Structure 1
């Protein structure tokens, strides 16, 4: 119960700083109605987790004080509806130019990603390419792992940042499959797909 209360208090601190921009320990203490020691404990945890940061400012009266603000990492803490905006824009494009133009957009994205990552694959054997691809996908939020099973490699993604988009526009998944084949220069098949209701995306990779 105490852990839940502590988490709730830290959530409140995050919300308060989000709406106010910057707050001192005294301002947080006054608004929360708890002791300064308790506030400082919560602040210490939030700083440790890289959710807030501070700088010292001179006040009109008294000694300089630390002023706390949200860190760049903290922005991920608050809800974002990027997929809704993306779906709305794609629907507008589809209405104006038709589905082929939407598919062309995904093809262009695949080409861009190919140019962006092909350097990381250069002069690598297939196993190191799979490892590099897994690292790339992890950096992009896909929660990817890989393993070798007999004569094939298996790349598994437990999260799909574009699942809402891919669920409506299946060509996005096709482009990802084609991207993997191009980057790895291997035969790649997908046996499970998050966008189709599976619990993960699974890619089976074999040498050509």
Structure 2
């Protein structure tokens, strides 16, 4: 299974919390999706599933075209809801909600456990539809992928921060074995770069 984060949006560049807001890819994001799709197509996916938000669907569509597959949609793969923070920048959130910012818990937003549970459950449903040896590509979002990944790997919640965030159009590769899921690659597809997403600030790699 490949977890694939969507391409860049204007709100990513502006460091705005996107959450459930339906923001399109920008010009750079479209190019990123096309580049990544050309690489992922070589893996010969057998099933492509996307969040219903257009930034993920349009990213997945680039791969669907090359692979000759329809992109299926699952609302449970959407990003973590940001409640009152959606549309606000990191600086605005830090200034207005310093306590919640430290915990990265948005008023009116989704909890990390709720997101982890729904994303993991959704991916398990789609994996169950694969034939033996098949490959599932899931096009989703930064926080949703990291939290779902942590749940699938069976990590206790206090260790979830050890998984770093994903850059735009980067992906993580998992393989299911006799003892559960194993992480083969994480944040692959690009050289390390700053991660601007809806995930908590300390999940992003330090700038170099």
TM-score by length of 1: 0.29
TM-score by length of 2: 0.29
Q: Which has the higher helix share?
A: 1
Give the greater-gyration-radius structure (CA).
1
